[in-house]
Amino acid sequence: MLFRQLEYFVALARERHFARAASACHVSQPALSEAIRKLERELKVPLVQRGQKFEGLTPEGERLVHWARRVLADCDALRLEVTALQTGLVGELRLGVVPNAVTTVALLTDPFCAAHPLVRVQVETNLRSAGIVERIRRFELDAGVLYPDRHDTDELLVTPLYQEHQVLIVGSDLLPGKTDTISWADALALPLCLLTQGMRGRRVIDDALATQGLAVSPQLETDSVATLFAHVGTGRWASIVPHTWIRALGVPAGASVLRLHDPSVTAPMVLVTNAAEPGSVVTRALIQVARDTGIGEVFGRAPGGLDQR
C-alpha cells in the first residue's frame, strides 16, 4: 500500500468526481483510477461505485476513507514533528471559526504566530459549529473556535477559551437616565435591530426570551454586525450583541452598553481539536498558546466596568 494511493482515494472521496480528483492530485485521470483499483485489489474490497461516472463510495469505501484520512494526517504530523526537532515549528495550521468569534480569534492567532513565525495560518470564518466539527473529524481542519453546545464534540479535545455575554448597546437619547443594567422586558420596548432570525447570535437571544415567555419582533434585521453598529450609532436604535464585539469594534458614538439581566445569558466559546494521540505538533502548540494566553481573563469585564463574571 502506497501513501499516493491513499491520497488519490481521499481526493476522490472529497471531490466526488474522477477528473477533479485527478486535477487536485496533479495526475492524469487514468493514473488516479488505476492507483485506486490497485488499492482495492490489495485491500480485497471495492471502494468506489463505478459507472459511466463516479457514483459514490461503496459502504466499505465510506468506512475506510476515514482511516485513509487519519493515516495521511498522521504521516503529515510525523513529518512536522521531525522538522520541528531539526529546525523549529513549521507547516500550516488550518483553523475554522464561527462568525461570533471573528473579532476575538486574533487573541489566539496573534500570539501563536509570534511564537511560531514559520507556521502559515489559514483562518476560515463564517462557518457553523457542526460543520467545523465534521471537518476536524475528516482531518480537513486542524482546529476550530466554536460553541460546543448542540453539537457532538465527543472524542474531540475541547479547550475552553472564554464565556460570551449578551449586552445591550443603545443610543443614549433612548435611555436618558444613567443605568448599568436593564431587564430583557425593558430592552424589548426599545426600537431594536438584531441579527437575522436563525443565525446563531440571534438564536441565543430568542432562546433566552423563550424561557421567560417573551418574544422579539425587531423592526430591522440584518446578517451584518457592521450594520447593527451603524444603526445604533444614529442614536435611534438599540441592539443586543456579544460583549466580545465591543472590545474589537468599540462602542458606537453616543451609545451606552448595559448588562442584560432576568436572565443573564452566557455561552461558552471553545477551541476544538482532534483528540488522536500524539496529534500534530502544530495543533499541540496552538492548544498550549490557548492555555497560556488566558483569553477568558481578557473578557472577564465588559466595557464601562460592567462586571460580566
Give the DSSP H or E segment for 124: strand 119-124
- pLDDT the model gives residue 238: 95
Closest Cα partner for 129 from 300, 280, 267, 309? 267
Distant-in-sequence, close-in-space partners of 150: CB < 8 Å, separation ≥ 6: 129, 130
pLDDT (tens digit, 0 to 9) for every residue of the chain, 309 residues total?
A: 778 888 888 898 888 898 899 999 999 988 999 899 899 889 998 998 887 778 888 888 888 888 888 887 888 777 777 776 656 688 899 999 988 888 899 999 999 999 998 899 999 987 888 899 999 988 899 999 998 876 678 789 999 999 988 899 998 788 877 678 998 888 999 999 999 988 878 888 898 888 888 899 999 999 888 899 999 999 999 999 999 999 888 998 889 999 988 778 888 899 999 887 777 889 999 999 999 998 888 876 444 444 333
- Which residues pair with residue 48 across a beta bridge? 57
Between CA 142 and CA 148 the distance in angstroms is: 16
Look up residue 270 and give its three cell numbers.
471553545
pLDDT for the residue 151: 65
pLDDT number for residue 261: 84
Q: If DSSP codes are grouped into helix, strand and coil, which group holds residue 151? A: coil
From the centroid of its chain, how far is CA 260?
A: 26
Residue with cell 482515494: 9
DSSP string for 210-233: HHTT-----SEEES-HHHHHHHHH
Burial of 177 by CB count in 10 Å (0-12 exposed, 13-18 middle, 19+ buried)?
exposed
Q: Which long-range contacts (CB under 8 A, 24 or more apart) does 171-177 make?
A: 171/232, 171/233, 171/234, 171/235, 171/236, 171/237, 171/238, 171/252, 171/254, 171/255, 172/235, 172/254, 172/255, 172/256, 173/235, 173/236, 173/254, 174/235, 174/236, 174/238, 175/256, 175/258
pLDDT value at residue 23: 92
Domains of the chain, start order: 3-73 (1.10.10.10), 94-154+273-300 (no CATH), 163-266 (3.40.190.290)
**pTM summary value:** 0.69
Q: What grid cell was written down for 70?
A: 487519519
Which grid coordinates belong to 256? 451606552
What is the four-CA torsion angle of 250, 252, 257, 262, rounded to 10 degrees? -110
- Between the two ends of the chain, the Cα-to-Cα distance in Å is 55
All cell numbers assigned to 90? 513549521
